[in-house]
Chains A and B, each alone.
Chain A
């Protein structure tokens, strides 16, 4: 039955808007709480050094054509030299960052705090939505969907014949979860704790970054062909001066 259901405007007033307002408020609250709870992190010397090294190697790669070939080769050797080059990570030292993470108590605490501040509000809000706002159709999605989405979007609604475009409030919750990031960056400025999706992405690719990126830089430096751009500049300068003289 693909009949058009008429949704009560009371749904809009009492479900959609309050849900969004509540999520915004919780986000703001989390931002301030995370600001208070942030411990003073002393950055690790090794990580800082590696980060700077990567920037320097990247600069070398980007602007290699601006320095004379001899200096480029000298620098490349300095970075990639087998014994004590800066970009070489000896096999033994590429330790498992996961193990390192758990053995270091400070880092474990920090990770836990960050995770907590993210997980708890999400769980609570989700439970609240399920408890209060389930069992009815909350909204209609403007475009048609296939039947596969039924289980995802229509969780509280037990009628199997209702069009999949009519969704429950749980999907509104998820929509808000991912969509309010833009709003938060407007209200709270650049640095806000609502970067859930960013944090989730960060969790998957953790401390393994330094040694991998060093290896990547080394390889790209090895491949790089040096094509000194300066001789061309002489001709360009002539052209410029000729323009001026006219």
Chain B
């Protein structure tokens, strides 16, 4: 994940380049380092550097990395001719390179010839069964074709070997949620929380899935996780505040006779409600009435 300072730096560079100042090369390097997906801008500014002979020669050996970056951005923007040219140049420079072979397979994927791309990827994996990028491309291809169960299968195989790759776990969790396989999604989110316990996003997603699953125990756990999100973000996360309210009212509905739980939770809920109202007053005052009616209906039912 990109840190705050890096994000501000990226935005600053982007503004600078957009408004005609220099610094296109630093911007491209930063995008490459942070692995952010800004394909249109990369394509535009990358091409402007590559087409200008003077700037290109000043890059030296870095120009090949730029070709690769522009090729991938071009494929993302579906300008397949640009991509083909870049890859052709790279192939001439590095005739035996696996990296260029991977780009060619990606071009096949972009064109839509799934079978050939699949063959190319399988042959790469035979030579080197531990190439992470190729595994991920295969999963992405299955997903793009709409073959979600195939994507799940490939991703599980990938995770059997590379179980510490938290991006893969996140992808798997999102796929499961899209298929409503919530129990499996819960497992994946737990993995994410284990590897990065201080990132509030994972707690939030986990709490969402638990709330969706329902059942008294899950609701109570969900409430706890919404509370941890509030703690981690200093109370600024609106979704978590809503989550607390919803959870409390749902718990109240399910467990009508339990007095102890009600007493504890009521304070948290009223605090969350006040925080929400304050937030809405600041940011969206015209919607405040909607909020108050919604909160009142929740309180009535709990």
Task: Collect the chain B residues with CB atoms within 8 Å of residue A244's CB.
Answer: 234-235, 275, 278
Complex CA–CA separation, A60 to B191 (angstroms): 8
Digitize B163-206: 1 where CB-to-A-CB distance is under 8 Å, 0 elsewhere.
Answer: 11100000000000000000000110011011101000000000
Of B129, B163, B165, B221, the residue contacting A230 (CB under 8 A) is B221
Contacting B at CB under 8 A, from A217-237, are 230-231, 233-234, 236-237
Task: Collect the chain B residues with CB atoms within 8 Å of residue A55's CB.
Answer: 163-164
- Interface residue A238 (Cβ < 8 Å from any Cβ of B): yes
- Interface residue B52 (Cβ < 8 Å from any Cβ of A): no
A240 with B231: CB separation less than 8 A: yes
Complex CA–CA separation, A56 to B159 (angstroms): 11
Query: Chain A's nearest CB lies how many Å from the CB of B184?
Result: 13
Q: Give the size range of A's interface with the partner.
A: 20 to 34
Query: Chain B's nearest CB lies how many Å from the CB of A88?
Result: 16
Which chain A residue has the least Cβ–Cβ distance from B276? A241
Complex CA–CA separation, A238 to B227 (angstroms): 8
Main SS at interface, chain B: helix
B268 with A238: CB separation less than 8 A: yes
Complex CA–CA separation, A14 to B164 (angstroms): 55
- Interface residue A245 (Cβ < 8 Å from any Cβ of B): yes
Known A-B contacts A45-B130, A48-B162, A52-B161; A238 and B278 likewise in contact (beta carbons under 8 Å): no
Contacting A at CB under 8 A, from B246-302, are 264, 267-268, 271-272, 274-275, 278
Task: Collect the chain A residues with CB atoms within 8 Å of residue B107's CB.
Answer: none
A45 with B194: CB separation less than 8 A: no
B130 with A52: CB separation less than 8 A: no
Contacting A at CB under 8 A, from B41-77, are none
Query: Chain B's nearest CB lies how many Å from the CB of A144?
Result: 51
Complex CA–CA separation, A60 to B196 (angstroms): 10
Of A45, A64, A71, A238, the residue contacting B129 (CB under 8 A) is A45
Query: Chain A's nearest CB lies how many Å from the CB of B68?
Result: 19
Task: Collect the chain A residues with CB atoms within 8 Å of residue B163's CB.
Answer: 49, 52-53, 55-56
- Interface residue B3 (Cβ < 8 Å from any Cβ of A): no
- Interface residue A63 (Cβ < 8 Å from any Cβ of B): yes
Complex CA–CA separation, A71 to B217 (angstroms): 13
Known A-B contacts A233-B224, A245-B275; A238 and B197 likewise in contact (beta carbons under 8 Å): no
Complex CA–CA separation, A236 to B231 (angstroms): 6
Of B130, B186, B193, B271, the residue contacting A241 (CB under 8 A) is B271
Which chain B residue has the least Cβ–Cβ distance from A234? B227
Contacting B at CB under 8 A, from A42-100, are 42-43, 45, 48-49, 52-53, 55-56, 59-60, 62-64, 66-68, 71, 75
- Interface residue B5 (Cβ < 8 Å from any Cβ of A): no
- Interface residue B230 (Cβ < 8 Å from any Cβ of A): yes
- Interface residue A38 (Cβ < 8 Å from any Cβ of B): no
- Interface residue B156 (Cβ < 8 Å from any Cβ of A): no
Query: Chain B's nearest CB lies how many Å from the CB of A84?
Result: 13
Task: Collect the chain B residues with CB atoms within 8 Å of residue A45's CB.
Answer: 129-130, 161
Q: Give the size range of B's interface with the partner.
A: 35 or more
Of A49, A67, A230, the residue contacting B161 (CB under 8 A) is A49
B235 with A233: CB separation less than 8 A: no
Query: Chain B's nearest CB lies how many Å from the CB of A50?
Result: 10
B231 with A48: CB separation less than 8 A: no
Complex CA–CA separation, A43 to B130 (angstroms): 7
Complex CA–CA separation, A27 to B226 (angstroms): 56
Of A42, A56, A62, A240, the residue contacting B230 (CB under 8 A) is A240
A237 with B228: CB separation less than 8 A: yes
B275 with A234: CB separation less than 8 A: no
- Interface residue B225 (Cβ < 8 Å from any Cβ of A): yes
- Interface residue A148 (Cβ < 8 Å from any Cβ of B): no
Interface residues of B (CB under 8 A from A): 128-130, 160-165, 186-187, 190-191, 193-195, 197, 221, 223-228, 230-231, 234-235, 244, 264, 267-268, 271-272, 274-275, 278
21 A-B pairs within 8 Å (CB atoms) are namely: A52-B162, A52-B165, A53-B163, A56-B191, A62-B197, A63-B194, A66-B193, A66-B197, A71-B186, A71-B190, A75-B190, A230-B228, A237-B226, A237-B227, A237-B228, A237-B230, A238-B227, A241-B274, A241-B275, A244-B234, A244-B278
Interface residues of A (CB under 8 A from B): 42-43, 45, 48-49, 52-53, 55-56, 59-60, 62-64, 66-68, 71, 75, 230-231, 233-234, 236-238, 240-245
Name the 6 nearest CB pairs between A and B, nearest first. Answer: A237-B227, A55-B164, A241-B271, A233-B228, A230-B224, A237-B230
